[in-house]
Amino acid sequence: LDNTWTGREGERGLEALRRIITTLTNKNEELQNFLETVDNTLTGLQEESCKVMSDLEAELGQLSSTLEEKGAELRGIIKEEKCRKEAELQKQLSDGKFALLSCEELLEFANQTLTITSEEEFLKVGWEEEIKSLKKHCEIIWKVTMAPAFRLTTRPVVSENMSQFTADFSAERVVLQRLHFLPVPKAPEINISRCIVHDNNITVTWRPASEVDGEGGPTEHYELEYRKTNRDSSLRAAGDACWEKICDITETQVTISGESLIPASSSVRVRAKNKTAAGEFSESVTIETRAYNFGFDASTAHAELKVQGDTVTWEPQGVKGHDLRLRGKESKSSSRSATPSPNKVAGSRAGRDRFAGESYTVLGDQEMIGGCYYWELCPLADWKSFSVGVAYRASLGRFDQLGKSTGSWCLHASQWLQSSLAAKHNNRAKALDWPLPQRIGIYCDYDNGDLSFIDVDRLRLLHCFKTKFSQPLIPAFTVWCGGITITTGLQVPSFMENFLSTNRSLSNLSQ
């Protein structure tokens, strides 16, 4: 740049250059996406054209095969009838020829007999000859009357008419001439008002094109595609996620389930398919699968708590040096565990924001303000004591324990020395008469001031705090001896409605 660009001019020039670079970067990404889309479309076109050509050849082959089979069947019928008639006529012709030959022999014999016309010729012979002559006349009469010519009918037993086998395929020919491709089904329309999000599932409902505009080809089934998108509902999928498919759907709705949907915005589209042709996809609809997704804030964890993903474990550092009960008693055996009590161990200071002392606390990394939230906790097999709840961040000092201030609420479970379950707030504890749960659901309705703890396995409401939250809340956990694991990114389960309805009824009754 020119050295004269100083001060405000230089700043404006640099700002303009940054805008140009930003615009070029965006345009470059847009062009890359466009080229990628065109390339994918071209590849898809080539594959789809080969597929439809193959399908067409298969259909024509089936049609030709059907015509050949039908033609062979009709030819066989005609040949069979022809052979039957030929056999009958041949037999009748043979019988007629034999009758004609017999008739000619009789005529010759009769003519010879009729040539004896004078009486003298009969008298010349003796009586013996006369008797022979009489017998001969009788034989002539019997042969003539019993000859095949007298008994044979002179009418053919079958006719040459084969018109009953005349085929008229004019209608079929017209149909074949009008033969064309199947009409492609039009795109359905997703009915966003009837789509339901519940229990980490999405039920998508749509209307066929025939219901929308009265048009559209025949539909045999539907195909739905979905993928996880960014929260801002941008067209480009988060992480370039591929479309996942659900095929052969016969109804006009389907339920999508899977951890890949939660928590996120899910882009959904659907198309109709007939025998071989698939219509265009409907307009993509973005369905919010809102859920509370958070993790542990490792920077707040007590020095003796180890955070790994969604798990927190207690790993003491120099336990014997901190536990007054264990000093000088290393050689003694005891039926009790050598693990120190959470109220007797002093932690070292490690980091300005970390909890220390006897707190053994770690916070979540996402605040809650407005709306409803739900997550779950499961203790590990070797746990001894833990607390789970919510707190105002500012209300917890580095050495504070959950439930001992006005700004923290928790459920405390312990099986150290004896089993106990209690709800704690403002340094007060309420004992709960219920077995220690193995899966705890935590529900927080910030706006209504509800904080509920549920035994998820037994679907039992353990305790519900009713208050009025005035500051952002943060999930809070205390772990001593053993560990816990949390499950987040869950929507408020449907069974919570039963607990909330019961609480409202009891509240109204008390009022």
307 burial level (CB within 10 Å; 0-12, 13-18, 19+): middle
pLDDT at position 168 is 86
Q: For residues 414 and 385, what is the distance between their CA atoms, to the nearest angstrom?
A: 4
pLDDT at position 436 is 94
Question: Per the structure block, which two tokens stand in for 469?
Answer: 């939250």
Residue 139 CA: distances (Å) to CA of 109, 134, 287: 10, 9, 113
3-class SS of residue 482 = strand
Question: Per the structure block, which two tokens stand in for 295?
Answer: 């993790």
pLDDT at position 385 is 95
| 263 φ/ψ angles, rounded to the nearest 5 degrees | -90, 140
- The residues spanned by each domain of the chain are 23-161, 189-210+217-231+242-288, 305-316+353-508
| 270 φ/ψ angles, rounded to the nearest 5 degrees | -145, 150
How would DSSP label each residue in 357-388?
Answer: TT--EEEESS-B-SSEEEEEEEE-TT--EEEE
Chain position carrying tokens 């007939």:
274
Cβ contacts of 281 within 8 Å, gap of 6 or more:
187, 225, 269, 270, 271
pLDDT at position 116 is 62
Chain position carrying tokens 């017999």:
102
Alpha helices, DSSP H, located in 115-159 = 119-124, 127-146, 148-151
Nearest to 388 by CA among 463, 442, 458, 465: 442
pLDDT at position 135 is 64
| 418 φ/ψ angles, rounded to the nearest 5 degrees | -150, 155
Q: For residues 331 and 448, what is the distance between their CA atoms, to the nearest angstrom?
A: 56
DSSP annotation of 347 reads P
CATH of 305-316+353-508 given 2.60.120.920, 1.10.3720.10, 3.10.20.90, 3.40.630.30: 2.60.120.920
Bond into 435 cis (ω within 30): no
Are the C-beta atoms of 390 and 369 separated by less than 8 Å? no
CATH 3.40.50.970 describes domain 189-210+217-231+242-288: no
Per-residue pLDDT 10s for the chain (511 aa) are 455 555 677 788 888 888 999 999 999 989 998 998 899 889 988 998 898 889 889 988 998 999 999 999 999 999 999 999 999 999 888 888 887 887 787 777 777 766 766 666 545 544 455 556 556 656 656 655 665 666 667 788 888 888 888 888 888 888 888 888 778 888 999 998 888 887 778 889 999 877 655 555 567 889 999 887 764 444 444 445 688 889 999 999 999 886 556 556 788 999 998 876 788 899 988 887 778 889 999 999 999 999 999 999 999 875 443 443 333 333 333 333 344 444 443 333 344 578 998 899 999 999 999 899 999 999 998 899 999 999 999 999 999 999 999 999 999 999 988 999 999 999 999 999 999 999 999 999 999 999 999 999 999 999 999 999 999 999 999 999 999 999 998 888 888 888 877 665 555 544 4
| 148 φ/ψ angles, rounded to the nearest 5 degrees | -60, -30
